[in-house]
Amino acid sequence: MIVVALSITGVINRTRAVLAGRKGIRFFQHVSNARLMLRKGAVYSPTTTALFRIAPCVYLGAAIMAFLFIPVANLEPVLSFHGDIILVAYLLALSRIAIVLAAMDTGSSFEGMGAAREALYGALVEPALMMGLATFALFCGYSSFADIFSTAQMFDTNLSIVMLLLAYVFLIIMIIESGRVPVDDPRTHLELTMIHEVMCLDYSGIDLAMINIAGWLKNAIWAMIAANAVSVVVCFHWEFATPLAILGSGITIGAIESLRARNKLSRNTTYILTIVAMSALVLLTGFLLYQNIDI
Amino acid sequence: MFLYALLAAVVAILAIFVSPLRAKVWVATTVISLAAIGALFLVVSSLIGGEIMLAKFSTDLFGLERISVDAVSALFLAIIAIASVAVVIYSRGYVEGYFKRFSPTHISLHYTALVLLVVSMMMVVVSSGGFSFLFSWELMTIASFILILFEADRQEVRRAALNYLVMMHIGFMFLVAGFVMLYNVTGSANFAAVECYFKVAKPVPLFVMFFLGFGMKAGLFPMHIWLPEAHPAAPSHVSAIMSGVMIKTGVYGILRMLQAIDHNTELLYSIGLIVLLAGIVTGLWGVILAAMQNDVKRLLAYSSIENIGVILIGLGVAAVGHAAGSNLIGMCGMCGALLHVVNHSLFKTMLFMSAGNIYSKMHTTAMNQMGGLAKHMPVTAILMLFATVAICALPPLNGFVSELLIYIGMFNGVSDGHEVLYAIGGIIALSLIGGVVVLAFSKLYGVVFLGSPRSHHVAESTEVDNQRIVAMAIPAVLILVIGLLPHYAIRPIALVAEGVTGADSGLAIASFVPMLEKLSYIGVMLLLVISLLFVAKRRAQLKRKIESGPTWGCGFTAPNTKMQYTGESFSEGLENIGKPLMKDTVDGRAVEKSEIFPSQHNYEVRHKDKVDSLLGQWWVKLMHRINLNVMRLRTGRVNNYITFALAFLAAVLIFTLVGIL
């Protein structure tokens, strides 16, 4: 799981480089960057309060806790209880509010802009996430990640299509939450068009490293859920699911980033609502299939 | 019994009026604390020993009535007691600011109304129905009306108070009609008779009457429009008690209905669906409008509407689940809803008190004039942050526990195949509510407390007195306890849920407690991880260079505080989605793009509720005209009035003779 967290960004960068015909940076360059930042001092704006300094810790802490609930195919997660799928969603919301408030704390209009967008997209993507989770619950009769994926092997093959669609939905959720093209472009140089990056403009040193690490963890959460959904269909074993999580999500996101332009900002809402509709559709399809099997 | 109660009330009121200006609050505090201690005593003994009968009497109107405390009353008594003590402690510092502006009589009236409100709310939840219930319900309305009118020299306050009074009486009419129908059929107007009524007569009309009557108090869509008007007008501690506790009496009434139809599965099912649907609509409407507001107290008022929606979603899940034969889903929904009643009473009280702290220093509730208050009012800022995290239902605080239970009820519905589609509807609504609440409250907190000041009032504001802080700490402690030790908090709640549904709670407790225990560990772990990270960061930074530099202005070197993101701009993205729910009113003129050197402009947008604008329609004007014509009959001459009375008597005589009456 930690391997997944560390490697996804590398795969994305490599895919981008290959598609652009470049040689690309080192595979673990982002890790080295983070290590470098962990050794640095910091600059804080006089506008900020203590909240600004605590927020990265909350951001990372909540992400770590959420991370501990995710199983890797047949490997048990560290923590698990009945209902943890909801807890994970709300832990991620906790990390979101921490970073949004920190961005508001700087008093910068650009960061306010990023905070407003992040809060809106986060709010809209929540139903999609919950419906994806509800689909799992529908099939497996449980509401904890560990139970869902441990009983999931006994599926009818009819349901595999639903699982693949679910994997797709979670991949898109990953794109939205981690601020990748087409919703947000981490490489843009213009603050006006940034979403996630603009919120951490005033962070430096350890704080920035914490935010980046939390970003990797979150990516790993989504990628792993998507990979688990796929490996339920194909081969439910961690030796299969782990590389799938890394390569599948990394290459897809890298390819999308290289091949697509980002959305106009005003189109993002529509884009996210499409995913919500999509996951509602997946849920309904799943429901119909499930009912047929019963009868 | 009654004489003693009346005597006690008269003595208390006299004491408030007679005592010197600064002592009035202490008299009120003593009275309310005594009432609260008595209530808590009743709560504990009724939860342990079962229903307690306080009095039994016969009324001319509705026959035999009882005053008794059962599990459901106990829950509401408890939240009334806790919130009212916190509120009256808080009120000292808040009301002191008005000593110069208002006469001592005015202040006495305020405290009398506060005491009456608390007592009448307690009476509402212990009376069995009929006359005593209606009497205390009306007393509650009038007391809160006087409380809203505190700043009666402001026109908008008078308007809002009148609006409140009228709407409450419309609701009251429905209740009276409901009780009369009940009495006619069953010969008793107690809530217990509702069950009997539903067996012999058509259930829909009675249910609609009660649902409308209670829904008016609770702020159900579309009857919610009094809330965002009354709360900004009322003093903050009054908003706190009204929003935290008083609107819950509406929920109490709906709970009594559900309790009565518990054995009638078919009816329970359809009523559960109505409640669920009402909850979804109310919650979504409330939360989207909350996110659009730019006034601190209006935002909080809409958030109360949203929370009522969440509670009703829980009740709906409970009813539908119970009717579908799943005890566990029923218990999940019911416990979640009841716990949310408690939770909301705690954090909303705290939030309104914070709003009061801000208002008493800033003399405005317009969010866009604030900013950076955290530096000037640090304790208020911390407490408000705490309440914000709680109301956003984020772990590890209490809001999450109740929403988790409701979610689990719905997820169980999905996985067991009970009413999957309704459960999905509930999940979508609740998750969307959860997401937008985060937006609304990060906007509120970010714009008010963070960033740099947008007006000079901020720099002049200071922290409030300690007594107000103590008052806010009371709910804060309970929030923390419920959040971190949910497996203890659920036991009394499950007892109450058992009282409502009649189902055995043992099974549900057995399934909740291990889960909540885990949740409590995880909450503690989360706090530990966060503090460890923070300590590690601080230690690492000790030896390094920590600099202070201005916020990155993206190359722009002369930013000013007006350039910060305002509340309006924060929710701009949501505006496109929320547009159908609102009617915007615009004052002034915006700067046009063609103006190269912009001159000074005043520009104000208010996002008004669409339902609100219905009140300005043609039919209101028609009523107005009819009223004017009727007013002509009011001549002021006694002989005219006697003629009218004579005409009335003659009409009655003729009608009786003809046989119409």
pLDDT tens profile B478-494: 999 999 998 888 888 88
- CA B523 – CA B527 distance, rounded (Å): 6
CA-based nearest residue in chain B for residue A90: B394
Chain B partners within 8 Å of A64 (Cβ): 529
**Ordered alpha helix ranges (H), B377-419:** 378-391, 398-416
Q: Please state the rounded mean pLDDT for residues B641-648.
A: 91
B252 pLDDT higher than 50: yes
* Total-model pTM: 0.92
Of the candidates A46, A83, A103, the beta carbon closest to that of B404 is on A83
What is the distance, to the nearest Å, from the Cα of residue B212 to the centroid of all Cα atoms in its chain?
A: 17
Predicted pLDDT at B476: 94
Cβ atoms < 10 Å from Cβ of A21:
7
Residue B39 contacts by C-beta under 8 Å, 6 or more apart in sequence?
A: B77, B78, B80, B81, B122
- Give kind and range of the element (H or E) at residue B71: helix B71-96
Give the three-state DSSP class for A44. Answer: strand
Give the model's confidence band at B250: pLDDT under 50 very low, under 70 low, under 90 confident, else very high: very high
Contact A44 B546 (CB under 8 A): yes
Nearest CA-CA distance, residue B544 and chain A, Å = 5
Question: Measured in Å, how far apart are chain A's first and last C-alpha atoms?
Answer: 39
Contact between A119 and B439 using a beta-carbon 8 Å cutoff: yes
The tens-digit pLDDT sequence of chain A (295 residues) is: 777 888 888 888 888 888 888 888 888 888 888 888 888 888 888 888 889 999 999 999 999 999 888 888 777 788 888 888 889 999 999 999 999 999 998 888 888 888 998 899 999 999 999 988 888 887 776 667 777 777 666 666 667 788 888 889 999 999 888 888 788 887 777 777 778 888 888 888 899 999 999 999 999 999 988 888 888 777 777 777 888 888 888 888 888 888 888 888 888 888 888 999 999 888 888 888 777 655 4
Assess B524–A contact: CB distance below 8 Å, yes or no.
no
CB B582 within 8 A of CB B289: yes
Write down the pLDDT at residue B211. Answer: 92
Tracing tokens 């509807």 back to the chain, one arrives at: B425
Confidence of residue B352 (pLDDT cuts 50, 70, 90): very high
Judged by CB atoms within 8 Å, which residues 362-401 of B form the interface with A? Answer: 371-372, 374-375, 381, 385, 389, 392-395, 400
**Shortest CA distance from A192: residue in chain B:** B554
Question: Per-residue pLDDT averaged across B111-137, rounded?
Answer: 90
Question: What is the DSSP code (8-state) at residue A190?
Answer: -
Query: What are residue B53's DSSP bridge partners?
Result: B68
Cis bond before residue B222 (omega within 30° of 0): yes
How far does the CA of residue A249 sit from the closest CA of chain B (Å)?
25
- The whole-number pLDDT of residue A108 equals 84
**Single-letter code of the amino acid located at B332:** C
Cβ-defined contact of A205 to B574 (cutoff 8 Å): no
Name the DSSP letter for residue A70: -
- A18 vs chain B: nearest CA distance in angstroms? 32
Q: B187-220, pLDDT tens digit by residue?
A: 888 888 888 888 888 888 888 899 999 999 998 8
- Report, as an integer, the average pLDDT of B427-452: 92
Taking alpha carbons only, the member of B148, B125, B83 closest to residue B214 is: B125
Cβ within 8 Å, pair A138-B414 = yes
B43-88 per-position pLDDT tens digit: 988 888 878 888 888 877 777 888 888 888 999 999 999 999 999 9
What average pLDDT is seen over chain B?
A: 88
Residues of chain B found within 8 Å of residue A107, distances taken between Cβ atoms: 371-372, 450-452, 551, 561, 564
At B25, list the tokens: 């609050």
The 10s digit of each residue's pLDDT in B617-629 is 777 788 888 988 8
pLDDT at B552 over 90: no
| 3-state SS class at B386 | helix
Nearest residue to B609 (alpha-carbon basis) of B582, B585, B572 = B582
Whether residue B411 and residue A129 make contact (CB cut-off 8 A), yes or no, is no
Between chains, do A91 and B547 touch, taking CB under 8 Å as contact?
no
Answer for the pair A133, A84: CB distance below 8 angstroms, yes or no.
Answer: no
Average pLDDT estimate for B252-273: 86
Q: Is the pLDDT of residue B226 over 60?
A: yes
Taking the CA of residue B96 and the nearest CA in chain A, the distance in Å comes to: 31
Peptide bond into A186 cis (omega under 30): no
- List C-alpha distances in Å: A179 to A34, A172, A183, A262: 18, 10, 6, 11
As to burial, measured by CB atoms within 10 angstroms (0-12 exposed, 13-18 middle, 19+ buried), residue B24 is: buried
What is residue B557's DSSP assignment? S
pLDDT score recorded for residue A74: 73
B420 contacts A58? CB cut-off 8 A: no
Inter-chain residue contact B529 with A43, CB threshold 8 Å: no
Kindly list the residues from chain B whose CB atom is less than 8 angstroms away from the CB atom of residue A131. Answer: 424, 427-428, 431
B253 touches chain A (CB under 8 A): no
Give residue B325's region: left, alpha or beta (phi > 0; psi -120 to 50).
left
- Least Cα distance to B175 among B141, B221, B143 occurs for B141
Cβ contact A143–B442 (<8 Å)? no
Our CA dihedral for A111, A58, A273, A254, rounded to 10 degrees, sits at 80
Confidence label for B590 from pLDDT (cuts 50, 70 and 90)? confident
In Å, how far is A287's CA from the nearest CA of chain B? 8
B443–A contact, CB cutoff 8 A: yes
Contact indicator for B203, B241 with CB cutoff of 8 Å: no
Q: Do A143 and B436 touch (CB under 8 A)?
A: no
B169-174, long-range: CB < 8 A, 24+ apart = B169/B141, B170/B216, B171/B212, B171/B213, B171/B214, B171/B215, B171/B216, B171/B217, B171/B223, B172/B134, B172/B137, B172/B138, B172/B141, B172/B213, B173/B213, B174/B209, B174/B210, B174/B212, B174/B213, B174/B216
B27 touches B16 (CB < 8 A): yes
- Nearest CB among A81, A106, A122 relative to B435 is that of A122
Is the peptide bond preceding residue B559 cis, with omega within 30 degrees of 0?
no
Question: Which residue type is seen at B441?
Answer: F
Distance from CA of A194 to the nearest CA of B (A): 12
What are the angstrom distances between the C-alpha of B29 and each of B40, B276, B338, B367, B402? 16, 39, 28, 32, 31
**Distance spanning both ends of chain B, measured CA to CA:** 40
At residue A295, the pLDDT reads 45
How far is the alpha carbon of B578 from chain A, nearest alpha carbon, in Å?
Answer: 12
Read off the tokens for A10: 């590398």
Determine, for residues A83 and B511 on separate chains, whether the beta-carbon distance falls below 8 Å. Answer: no
Chain B residue whose CA is closest to A291: B417
Q: Does B554 touch chain A (CB under 8 A)?
A: yes
Look at residue A154 in the predicted model and tell me its pLDDT: 60
Q: Does the structure show a pLDDT above 90 at B542?
A: no
ipTM of the complex: 0.92
Are A109 and B559 an interchain contact pair (Cβ–Cβ within 8 Å)? yes
pLDDT reading at B104 higher than 80? yes
Dump the DSSP string for B496-539: HHHHHH-S--HHHHHHHHHHHHHHHHHHHHHHHHHHHHHHHHHH
> Which SS3 state, helix, strand or coil, does residue B547 take?
strand
Q: Taking CB atoms and an 8 Å cutoff, what residues of chain B touch A134?
A: 411, 414, 423-424, 427
Residue B358 near residue B373 (C-beta atoms within 8 A): yes
Cross-chain residue pair B511–A82, CB shorter than 8 Å: yes
Q: What is the DSSP letter of B579?
A: G
